[in-house]
Structure 1
């Protein structure tokens, strides 16, 4: 028996058949086609951004007509009070919406992840959040405008007559659903034994939440806050309905500029805000990496 085993071990490997060679060729061809397709998709997605970044260095007066390389568009953008005011309004609204939606979405996501055996309120909350995501923004804008007027004018709640408050509330109502689903995805499958052990050791519910639950959910919370921030910066339709004079956000300013003619200053400021968004994304990725998350876990957390 041992002799047969030794002879089998010393025997040369079986020669590859024509079928195995054909399978390898098909696999290589398939991988090549997927790589080419991926490159085409990336070019399709990022070429417009590259064009805007390139034309932000246009020294002409009109964006679509290249007149030479220069940094005059950045200087003019920084010295334009209207542009700076709209950018500041967008950043203030984005930060406020991110804070509000992160607080509410974190509580909702943790609550949904802790439901055992389902429940009517969990199904109802999930349905409301999904309905919020799929509702067209123009419908939300038409609904928010009279609602803010009713609260601010008819009911006498003066904060809702402020343009910045309107932007923050309307943007947070949309992004809160995204934060909820991201946090719920982060907390799904997390063992509750640590929280139960903290309670057995005498920790109050608030201290167990602060010292155990919140650190576990922190990567999802941070990813949700970033998503809320970027979605608020990009919101045009809803902002155009609820904005007030003196609180015009950057996307609405660009939309109004398109009707006349886009100037290089718009591309320059858009490039600056793109770099700001990439920096925020890099910070979130760094924090998630420091927390011990792998690349796959980071992608899953960001995607919810």
Structure 2
């Protein structure tokens, strides 16, 4: 072994160790705030910034405060409705892009990308006068309902996400089963229901769960389109900042974090059972 090769091998462990340390520091930088909020959710003090000791007082407060329960319920209900809307529209859009390719697909993907990258403040400012116009000027009281406003507003970005995921799932699969179904005199609806939708179902379920988690924290749009009596949890947290953050806010945040992690784990499990590899799962969840 030459002296040059021995020098390279000696430098390689040092480089690997440096990269490992750097990776750990990056992970700590990313997850340290989340770890802090989880730890402080067990704070027994009156304020979040003053840690007095460990306990479950903050979680008991959630049960004792109806205003907190109402805010969480509004967020969960509107996120579920938004996920249903996004899944229904996004699934059809994703299937259409995968099974009917053409120049229109790239234009449509451009529109979805525009929806994805548009700042939420722009969407919020656009939605508020639109809902007022529909609800008051056109006399459609449905759009004066807080649940309807929050559900529609949260479903915009989620629809694009579901479309990406469903398209990514089907674009690599041949349409031979759909063609065989048509050759066997199945109606287009039967082919769609029993073949196409069945093949896309793992991505549909993944898209629904991701749409639900994304809709839970749609803070900016929710702050603009909400009406009195339907204050979602993110808006409640913003209003609570003025009087000081309390441990129950961290407790609810911890619960929502756990629900989000469970949803992501279910997404990965569904895709794994569908036969996807770890790389394919990451690609599908990212809409790649």
> What TM-score bracket applies, with the shorter chain setting the length?
over 0.9
* Greater CA drift, 23-32 or 266-275: 23-32
1:86 corresponding residue in structure 2: 71
Distance 1:20 1:204, change over 3 A: farther
* Aligned length in residues: 287
> Aligned match of 2:127 in 122, 125, 144?
144
2:106 corresponding residue in structure 1: 123
- The correspondence of residues 1-304 of structure 1 with structure 2, limited to 5 A, is 16-116=1-101, 118-119=102-103, 121-304=104-287
- TM-score, normalising length: structure 1: 0.90
Residue by residue, what CA displacement relative to the aligned partner does 1:8-46 show, whole Å, maximum 9, x if unpaired? Answer: xxxxxxxx3333334434443333333222211211111
Runs (5+) with no aligned partner, structure 1: 1-15
Runs (5+) with no aligned partner, structure 2: none
Residue by residue, what CA displacement relative to the aligned partner does 1:135-174 show, whole Å, maximum 9, x if unpaired? Answer: 1111111110010011111112221110000000111112
Following the alignment from structure 1 to structure 2, what is the Cα–Cα distance between the partners of residues 27 and 212?
Answer: 52
SS at match of 1:246: coil
Displaced runs of 4+ in structure 1, greater than 6 A?
none
- TM-score, normalising length: structure 2: 0.95
1:4 corresponding residue in structure 2: none
Distance 1:155 1:298, change over 3 A: same
Residue by residue, what CA displacement relative to the aligned partner does 1:46-68 show, whole Å, maximum 9, x if unpaired? Answer: 11111111111111101100112
Does the CA contact (< 8 Å) of 1:163 and 1:244 recur in 2?
A: yes
Instruction: From the CA coordinates, give the structure whose radius of gyration is larger.
Output: 1
Following the alignment from structure 1 to structure 2, what is the Cα–Cα distance between the partners of residues 31 and 111?
Answer: 46
Does the CA contact (< 8 Å) of 1:105 and 1:179 recur in 2?
A: yes
